[in-house]
Amino acid sequence: MDTKNKKLIELCLLYLFNILFYETNILIYNNHYITFKSFIPLPINFISDNFLDIKIDNDSIYLNTDVKNKNRTIIANKILPYFTENPIPFSFPVLCKGKYEIINSNIFYYEITISEQIKQSWNDETIVIGYGSVYTNKNSNPGWENNTFGYHLDDGTYQYNGNIIKKFGPIGKFGDIIGAGIIYISETTYQPFFTINGILLNKLIPEITIPHKIVPMLGIDYSHIIKYNFGKKEFKFNIKNQLHGRHIISLKNIFFEKTQQNNKFNLSNNEATKKIDIPSKINITFLNNIISELTQHTTNITQLNEQNNFFVLI
């Protein structure tokens, strides 16, 4: 096997390693090449970021302490696509009827579920679902600080940059499934949207400009377990009908660029430095088809990186 094909196989395996955390090998690609070219590893879980009083286990979040009325914000494990480094539109996997379809999209979305109660309730307990800058103060709640926004489930308000929209949505309760999404409007401007129990909250939300890299965020001070879903399970809200990549914001993609110094693919994000364990359930024929299609498009890596028309919108 020549060096070029070996590198392509490594790239394919890294891609599948990131995508196949969904524990399936049923994937639908309208165009393998476009999917790879617009790929960036997206968030798959939350991290507690040194909050020892928050437990994150098996897609569940809950307080591991009796300390109440404390402001805590946790963030997702990866930043979202950013125009200086990543392609926008980007590949977004959607589970529908047991199959994942990879769609090029200007939209990111995730959901949480208010699950069983494990502690006695207290005054002013809250969950806040939203997004914000990677530089956000973690001893706060999304929406209180500049460059953050969130739906506050204790009082049904939407808050952003210290501003507040009252009577935005219902107060959260046991069993509710709440979704938070962003539409990329321009390089640093986003249109937020929220859902509850599969229904879009049809309140007007102003666009928000955040001049930093952003991540999904949750404010946690609540007596119930909170389950999160970045796409491992089917969303309650039919997000597929909302997804689109209607205009190109960025053609950057360091995931697929060639590093000049060592003549290797520069696989961005820290996942590239990890040992890749090949899942046994990968369909080898499927993988070979991807490699074959990629090989047809990568006879000249320099030419590949200079292309400006690789986004064929699905």
Q: Are residues 214 and 169 in the same domain?
A: yes
Q: Are residues 204 and 284 in the same domain?
A: no
Residue 152 domain flag = yes
Q: Are residues 5 and 146 in the same domain?
A: no
Q: Are residues 221 and 260 in the same domain?
A: no
Query: Considering its fold, how many domains does the chain have in total?
Result: 2
Residue 145 domain flag = yes
pLDDT reported for residue 314: 25
pLDDT reported for residue 202: 87
Residue 112 domain flag = yes
Cis peptide before 206 (omega within 30 of 0): no
Q: Are residues 75 and 115 in the same domain?
A: yes
Q: Are residues 222 and 257 in the same domain?
A: no
Task: Read off the CATH number of the domain in which 207 is found.
Answer: 2.60.120.920
Contact assessment for residue 34 and residue 105, using Cβ atoms and an 8 Å cutoff: no
Q: Are residues 140 and 65 in the same domain?
A: yes
pLDDT reported for residue 12: 57
pLDDT reported for residue 257: 53
- From 187, 220, 242, the end of a domain falls on 242
Residue 88 domain flag = no
Q: Are residues 62 and 176 in the same domain?
A: yes
Containing domain of residue 23, as a range?
Answer: 1-39+253-314
Q: Are residues 272 and 298 in the same domain?
A: yes
Q: Are residues 6 and 50 in the same domain?
A: no
Please give the C-alpha separations between residue 306 and each of 202, 226, 248, 251, 257, in angstroms, as whole numbers: 41, 44, 15, 10, 10
Q: Residues of the chain whose pLDDT is less than 70? A: 1-34, 49-50, 254-314
Q: Give pLDDT tens digits for 246-286.
A: 788 998 875 555 433 333 333 333 333 333 333 444 455 55
Residue 65 domain flag = yes
What is the identity of the amino acid at 231? G
pLDDT reported for residue 138: 86
pLDDT reported for residue 51: 72
Angle, CA 54 vertex, CA 50 and CA 60 arms, to 5°: 120
Q: Are residues 236 and 311 in the same domain?
A: no
Residue 248 domain flag = no
Exposed / middle / buried, residue 89 (Cβ in 10 Å: 0-12, 13-18, 19+): buried
